[in-house]
Each structure stands twice: as structure tokens, then as C-alpha cells.
Chain A
Amino acid sequence: MIAIVDYGAGNLSSVKKAFDHLGAQAVVTDQPEILATADKIVLPGVGHFSSLSALEKNGMREALLQATSGGKPFLGICLGMQWLFEGSEECTEISGSGIFPGKCRQFPASVKSPHVGWNSLTIQTSSRLLRDIAQDSFVYYTHSFHAPVLAATSASTEYGLLFSAAVEQENIFGVQFHPEKSGDVGLSILKNFCEVVC
């Protein structure tokens, strides 16, 4: 069973719907104890970095850290990927998990912000999450802050600068784009996550 973490940040039904479409068993939950029984965890999210503060309220943050350090496959989507870093310029009072070093920053003034629409992936390493995804495939983005490129970056995208489109390290996966809104390419990526063994 895949646990989709509900922390009150917008609408999670599209992520659930995508897993339903793939025939995967997924539940949306705000109960930290469910994470212990789940096989895999998805931390979705749209909106403002401050909405991640809701994770602090009921022990969800500890449950997430415990599951990720215990080797359980974890996929962070959009804000959920940004949570994997130390924090974000968007809201400096809230810290991320710090699993990856660095902070999420704003786009340069040379480009419109937010970054909204379909942009292409430059797949950089042999990635389990992006297995069989063609180089330069298009995925859907909507965000104002971006994560830096680092050793764990499995794909990058260019928008005013190069940023981490996807990160991957052992059982931890993150995507800045929305696979649940990226057509067949996105569904293939979610299917890869369903099949990944850590």
C-alpha cells in the first residue's frame, strides 16, 4: 500500500487518481501511524512552503523521517521534493528535512515567475524512477522556487538557470514537476515508483 500524505495543502485527489489508474493501492492519510504500515510513501504538495508547517503538528514529520531513514521508498512531489532540502527562501521559518543539502531559491528576474507549463527533462544519470523515460521528455511544472543541482540530481530542467527536476538517492526520490499532470510520461514515472524495490 502507498500512503499519500495529506497535510492540508490543496487537493491531493489527482495523485490518488493517478495511482488508482495504474491499479496501485493508495490511501490518502493524515495519520502518522499509517506510514509505519505503508510499503511506500508519497509526499505531494502545491502552494507555499509554509504549508509544510502542518507536518509538525501531529508527529507526521517524525514519522516521515523515521520511514525515510528506515529505507522505505519515498517520493516527494513539488513541495514534497523541496521538503527533502534544508529549506526554502519562500519561508525561512520552516525547515525541510535536510536529507539533501542546500536551499530552494527564487528564479532569476530574467524569467517570468511562477514557472508554469511543460518543460523538458535532461536526464543525467541512470535513474530508477526515470527508467525508460526518453531524454527531453516534457513534464508539467507549476512553481516559483527551485532546488539546486547536486550529486543526487537525476534530471535537470532549464528555466533561467538549471535546476533539479528530479533527485534520487537510495530509497529517496523527488520530482519538482507534477507526474500526475504530465500525461503518459508522468504515469510511466509513477508506475516506475510503484515497481521500485529498495
Chain B
Amino acid sequence: MLTKRIIACLDMDGGRVVKGVRFKNLRDAGDPAECAAAHARNGADEIVLLDITATSGNRNTLLGAVRNTARSLFVPFTVGGGIRQLEDAAAVFDAGADKIAINSAAVRDPSLISKIAARFGSQAVVVAIDARKTDTRFEVFVAGGRVPTGQDAIQCARQAAVCGAGEILLTSMDRDGTQSGFDCTLVRAVAEAVSIPVIASGGAGSAHDFIEVFSDGRADAALAASIFHFGIENIAQLKRELHEASIPVRWPC
């Protein structure tokens, strides 16, 4: 049976893993390669490395971190942050990533999704959507949550799938870093709108939150950062609790 994936996310700033609350107040959480290896040993099904303050100036920092992290990592490895064109994606794949995550650039120019998918396959393209609830809908934000786009998250996910995205990484900005639970309404709306897998992100705080997002939210995978870095929730322990709650997970692993 296909299992629900638990994905450990490393938000990287200047070559270090950091974690903030609602995309702000960053705290240091360690070296990317060491964090990734530790999470994989602990049972993470996948690792995502996001360069959250990516600019062209620190491109080499990102590629160096990707190379170091990929060297001894034998689970799927996704890299995002600052990928604006096909060449950026190619460099990240060359450094050892299995998938790239694109956000701002994909929202601005959905044809970038098709271009990367045509060359590296849809399985290698994760479209990251950062969404915030408004009175009537979920609005997409770009540039690390700083810039509103006026676009609807569900429409944006549908368009990404049509363009050839392999997966949607859906972050609730309202819940990010709060450990108050995933936004199951948002996740379910998107998961039911597209036929590609949806990774829920933002708000993970307890095993109960994961159970909820996999059942009520219909998520295929769930991503978390802060609760894993500071040891609040151990991934192996989390997977055992999910297993006991009859959520199919890779356990023991």
C-alpha cells in the first residue's frame, strides 16, 4: 500500500538551517547536511531544502549546500529557492537534487514548469504554493510570503498540474511555524482539485495534526520543520503513532 510521506524541511539562510514563525524571527537550527542525514536516519521519507532568502548573490552557497547534503543522502531530496529559469534548475539537479521546488517564478511564468518538466520529467518538478486565507478564498503569495499576487490557490494548483508539475507543496502562511495544526480546509480543497500528489505544509505541532491532515485533509504527504529540528516531535515516534492510528506509513523504517 502506498504510504503517506513525512517530509522534513530545512529552511536555509546563508548556508545554515533556520526556522521562523510566520516566515519571520529566524533561529539557527544547524548545518544542512548534518540535519538532513539525521532526519533520514530518524525515518524521514524525504528531505526538502529551501533557500528562503535566495538571491543571485548566494547561488554558490546554495549549490555547495546541495552538493554536501546530497552526497550521503539516499532518500528523495528536493531543493527550492531562487530557481528562476531552466539553467538554475539544471545547476541544482547537477549538484545532486532529485526534484526542484519553484514558487515565485512558476506563479509569474507557468511555462517555466513545462520547460523544466520537459527536460527533467514531471516527477522532478514540485510547485510550491504559499497561501493565506482571506474572507472568501486562499490567496497566493510569492517572494517568501512577502508579495500578494491576487491569485487563487486552487486555480494556481490546477494550472501548475496542467503545465506538468509532479507535485504541489502547499504551505498555509497563516499556520507556518505556529504548531497549531495544518489548514485541512485549504489542503483538502487543493487535494481534491488536482490529480497529482499534494504535500501539506505549515502548522505541524503534534501527531494528531498529521493524522488530521492525512484523513480530513486528504494530503499525500506532510512537511514539517520546526517540530523536528528542536526535537519536539521525533519522526520515528511520530510514524509509530501514525501507524497505530491506522495511517499507512513507512514504519518500521
B250–A116 touching, CB < 8 Å:
no
> Do the beta carbons of A120 and B1 come within 8 Å of each other?
yes
Q: Does B160 sit at the interface, judged by CB under 8 A? A: no
Inter-subunit contact B71/A17 (CB<8 Å): yes
Instruction: Check A112 against B45 for contact (C-beta < 8 Å).
Output: no
How would residues 89 to 102 of chain B score, 1 for a CB under 8 Å from any chain A CB and 0 otherwise?
A: 00001101110000
A142 touches B3 (CB 8 A): no
Given contacts A11-B94, A46-B121, contact A182 B2 (CB under 8 A): no
Decide if A183 touches B40 in the complex (CB within 8 Å). Answer: yes
Q: Which residue of B lies closest to A13 (CB)?
A: B96
Which residue in chain A gives the minimum CB-CB distance to B195? A112
Q: Are A17 and B70 in contact (CB under 8 A)?
A: yes
Give A6-53 interface residues, CB cut-off 8 Å to B.
9-11, 13-14, 17-18, 21, 46-48
Bound-state CA distance A46–B98 (Å) is: 10
Whole-angstrom distance between the alpha carbons of A138 and B90 in the complex? 29
Q: Which of A141-162 contact B (CB under 8 A)?
A: 142-144, 158-159
- Compute how far the CA of A47 lies from the CA of B124 in the bound complex, rounded to whole angstroms: 8
Given contacts A115-B2, A119-B1, contact A182 B74 (CB under 8 A): yes
Closest chain B residue, CB of each to CB of A190: B74
A187 within 8 A of B: yes
Residues in A whose Cβ lies below 8 Å from that of B220 = 112, 116-117
Which of B3, B74, B94, B253 contacts A117, CB < 8 Å? B3
For chain A, the bracket of interface size reads 35 or more
With contact pairs A17-B70, A142-B166, A186-B74 given, residues A118 and B3 touching in the complex (Cβ less than 8 Å): yes
- Residues of chain A lying within 8 A (CB to CB) of residue B75: 140, 181-183
Q: Are A143 and B74 also in contact (CB < 8 A) when A112-B195, A116-B166, A183-B40 are?
A: no
Is the CB–CB distance between A118 and B94 below 8 Å? Answer: no
User: 9 tightest CB-CB pairs across the interface, nearest first?
Assistant: A47-B121, A142-B123, A138-B250, A118-B250, A11-B93, A119-B2, A118-B3, A46-B121, A116-B197
Q: A116-B167, A181-B76 are in contact. Are A14 and B123 (CB under 8 A)?
A: no
CA distance A13 to B72 in the complex (A): 12
In terms of DSSP, what is the predominant structure of the interface of chain B?
Answer: loop
Among A114, A144, A180, A186, chain B packs the most CB atoms within 10 A around the CB of: A114
Q: How far is the CA of A46 from the CA of B122 in the complex (A)?
A: 9
Cβ contacts under 8 Å, B132 to chain A: none
Of the candidates A113, A117, A158, which one forms a contact with B195 in the assembled complex, judged by CB atoms under 8 Å apart?
A113
- A10 contacts B120, CB within 8 Å? yes
- B44: nearest chain-A partner, CB-CB: A183
**Contact assessment for B45 and A117 in the assembled complex, using a CB-CB cutoff below 8 Å:** yes
CA distance A159 to B122 in the complex (A): 19
A11 and B120 contacting across the interface, CB-CB below 8 Å: yes
CB-based nearest A residue for B40: A183
Which of A46, A116, A140, A158 lies in contact with B1, CB distance below 8 A? Answer: A158
CA distance A10 to B124 in the complex (A): 9
Contact string against A for B residues 32-46, beta-carbon threshold 8 Å, 1 for contact and 0 otherwise: 000000001000010
Given A17-B71, A180-B74, A182-B74: A117 touches B197 (CB 8 Å cut-off): yes
Q: Is the CB of B76 within 8 A of A140?
A: yes
Are B3's CB and A119's CB within 8 A?
Answer: yes
CA gap between A184 and B252 in the complex, in Å: 12
Question: Which one, B70, B74, B94, B123, contacts A47 given CB within 8 A?
Answer: B123
List 12 interface pairs A-B (beta carbons < 8 Å), by A numbering: A10-B93, A11-B94, A11-B96, A11-B97, A112-B197, A112-B220, A117-B197, A117-B221, A118-B250, A119-B2, A138-B250, A183-B75
Verify A118–B195 contact, CB threshold 8 A: no
- Asked if B5 is an interface residue, CB under 8 A from chain A, the answer is yes
